[in-house]
Chain A
């Protein structure tokens, strides 16, 4: 053995991935979004399991690319990214930190009541749905009747 392969710990890798922003909602990380499902060394190859939010989400391939780039920057060369569809992604996997950042950014986080709890701008609760879909597959459009501002709501699935 002349050369030891440098293998950062899985905990360190999770931390690095937590700095990779979601391409559509850059204030939250791919870890916050709950789409990184596993980090594991297989020999000298790092295996990352990623699950799509929606099956047709065009951001999926960009996310895989961003993850790979971030890890290469940390000196990891052998990476495989596995697409994993089961169990299916659920908004329950969003982290608490992610939900809070999302709301600060102006997107109402998902709620099991199938509608936003409050307006992310003024906190008002008199709300109406404008459309079941929004700027990305994961969002819907709502409006606050208090401040009259429209906002995105992250759908609960």
Chain B
């Protein structure tokens, strides 16, 4: 694997995380419990799709095979996606959506903070731009997790169930592989295992404020970021998201 091949893979991971989660969150548009939340979710999704355009745009440039961000988003199949399994998990109820958002935002904010000092200026610039938006996302998702966790008996039970369901997908964020090793050697990105302590600080603080208990099992699902084993949910998501470009290739408006 050359350095550029590794960088391409790494950029797909960043762009696919925001693309898949952005799409998932956009599924709430017109369905959220109250208008303000609907608008908030749609705006969060919009930020993530914007970040996707930058990451996948750069990935296409690094690849140099004439693809662009749109082609990467709409014309790859499930096994070519490099997102974390966490972000492809179904929305569930509003609480589960916000719990997934919080776990991702916490990780994302720590990661972007480190990428801002990347040796690759292009990566550093996108990270600096995205970081401002993600700081705001984290503030919101953390507040909502606390509000619902430390809320009524019903909302507390639902948030604990969401945490129990999603926690096994957290470990994958911090597992390093060959792509990460190459990025660390080039000074482009941090070793993901070094992000864990800062993530745990945020998670422990917010979840304890939310009166929720972090599951003790250390079992973790993996296979998303290297594309080896996505869940069955990704294919369904892609069939909705990519339908138009598959049915009418190259269609623009």
Contact = CB atoms under 8 A, between A and B. Distances in A.
B203 interface: no
B54 A54 contact: no
Interface residues of B, number: 26
B47 A134 contact: no
Contacts of B154: none
A56 B139 contact: no
Contacts of A85: 54, 125-126, 129
B67 to A, nearest CB: 19
A132 B144 CA distance: 11
A86 B129 contact: yes
Given A135-B39, A155-B136, A157-B136, A56 B51 contact: yes
B130 interface: yes
A136 to B, nearest CB: 8
Contacts of B128: 86-88
Given A85-B129, A87-B128, A131-B36, A55 B43 contact: no
Given A54-B133, A132-B136, A133-B40, A86 B46 contact: no
Contacts of A88: 125, 128-129, 132
Contacts of A87: 128
B99 interface: no
A85 to B, nearest CB: 5
Contacts of B51: 55-56
B47 A54 contact: yes
A54 B50 contact: yes
A86 B125 contact: yes
A137 B46 contact: yes
Contact residues of A: prevailing secondary structure: loop
B39 A56 contact: no
B140 interface: yes
Given A86-B125, A86-B128, A132-B40, A56 B50 contact: yes
Interface string A33-60: 0000000000000000000101111100
A137 B46 CA distance: 8
B231 interface: no
Interface string B6-29: 000000000000000000000000
A58 B50 CA distance: 9
B40 A131 contact: yes
A56 to B, nearest CB: 3
A54 B135 CA distance: 13
B48 interface: yes
A134 B37 CA distance: 10
Contacts of A141: 36
Interface in A140-157: 141, 155, 157
B211 interface: no
B53 interface: yes
17 contacts: A52-B50, A54-B133, A55-B133, A56-B46, A58-B46, A85-B54, A86-B124, A88-B132, A130-B36, A131-B39, A132-B40, A132-B136, A132-B139, A133-B36, A133-B39, A137-B46, A155-B136
